[in-house]
Amino acid sequence: MLSAKNIEIIKSTVPVLEVHGTAITTRFYARMFENHPELLNIFNHANQKQGRQQTALANAVYAAAKHIDNLGAILPVVKQIAHKHRSLGIKAEHYPIVGQNLLAAIQEVLGDAATEEIIGAWAKAYGVIADAFIGIEADMYREAEQQEGGWSGFRAFKIAKRVKESDVIDSFYLVPSDGKGIASYLPGQYISVKMDIPGEKNTHIRQYSLSDAPGKPYYRISVKREDAIQSLPAGKVSSDLHDRAGEGSELWISAPAGEFTLNTEDHRPIVLIGGGIGVTPLMSMLSVLAESSPGRRVTFIQAARNGEWHALKPQAEELARRHPHIQTYWCYEQPTARDRELQGYHKEGFVDLPWLQSIIPSKDACFYFCGPVPFMKAIYRSLKEWGAAEQDIRYEFFGPAGSLETA
């Protein structure tokens, strides 16, 4: 337990963290990788280069400081991060490394303002926070291993089938190399894929949502080839999967994880809104809703650049054909001449509030969405403007968590 004095000191640093948080976490990661380059085999290099991981950690540290006297208030965020840690293979022995380098980064960035009293209080606070993560993650590791079909760490799977879903997205059907059973999962969860890429010094791990219904003898991931655009480099893992991972190839994956899951106890109408490859966890949800909730109205909305980029459309249309409680809608940003000829979409441009209101009977519904961050910010703003309840709005970031509140 933290003393009242330590809590007071930590809370006094909240304004400082709000200003210098990203500078501290940027220096933290630089220090940690200098001192422990082996951790580059775990962390996502692309997120580091783009600054997303630094910002996400800064937000987490800020939230921990703000709620240091009531860490239960940030338990949902802790669990979300813990799922990712378990999926990546982060263990208890990594936490002292993080703590040592985080405290050193605070001292470096704040200089004389980081007094011995402040660093001492943060050392104690970090110990409490780390123990919370370690305990939650230990339970998750145990559950992943002990569940039926479960396993610890990474397990070898073979690509049983590869299907081209669009010009930029392929689906990979994965079965265990040992021929044994696989763990079930909740619709919306993901797996981590660990790859050794030719010419790369470090192992790369990426998390991909499962895009099919659970209960099948395989896992399906649908992967977009992330080509270089503007200042962003090409996705190393997605490119390698598209270039080299054919049927019969072997991949190493961790057991399913994730907090962005379908609430099957709420029977109100549900709206699933996917942007681009963000449709993958929603497709798993749709597959389950088709069979398990025949009396629940389901609105499935997918935004894509055009029909050539539109993945998993036939599967969604087939589910809607067989299950009248499902309504599907397509929004194309830049429809092709063929799209217009076939009338294969319902809206041109972007998903906006007037269109949502025209196809969704009421804001009293459960909303789930996923996609590029600008897309999610637009959806979030629209739902808030409409007056949808905060507890009815659920979303998933691909990569480190961010904020949808900013412009």
pLDDT computed for residue 407 by the predictor = 47
177 is in an annotated binding site: no
Q: What is the mean pLDDT of each run of 10 residues along the chain (407 residues)?
A: 90 90 91 93 75 79 86 85 93 94 94 93 92 94 96 97 96 97 96 93 93 96 80 76 94 96 90 97 96 89 96 96 96 95 93 97 96 94 96 87 67
Choice among 29, 62, 95, 141 that is catalytic: 95
CATH 3.40.50.80 residue spans of the chain: 270-396
pLDDT computed for residue 37 by the predictor = 93
pTM: 0.92
45 is in an annotated binding site: no
CATH 2.40.30.10 residue spans of the chain: 154-254
Choice among 137, 226, 333, 396 that is catalytic: 137
209 is in an annotated binding site: yes
190 is in an annotated binding site: yes
CATH 1.10.490.10 residue spans of the chain: 4-146
Specify the CATH architecture of the domain 4-146.
Orthogonal Bundle (1.10)
The CATH number fitting domain 270-396, selected from 3.40.50.11540, 3.40.50.80, 3.30.420.40, 3.40.50.300: 3.40.50.80
Give the tokens for residue 44: 């996502």
Provide the CATH number for the domain formed by 154-254 in this structure. Answer: 2.40.30.10
50 is in an annotated binding site: no
pLDDT computed for residue 63 by the predictor = 86
219 is an active site residue: no
76 is in an annotated binding site: no
95 is an active site residue: yes
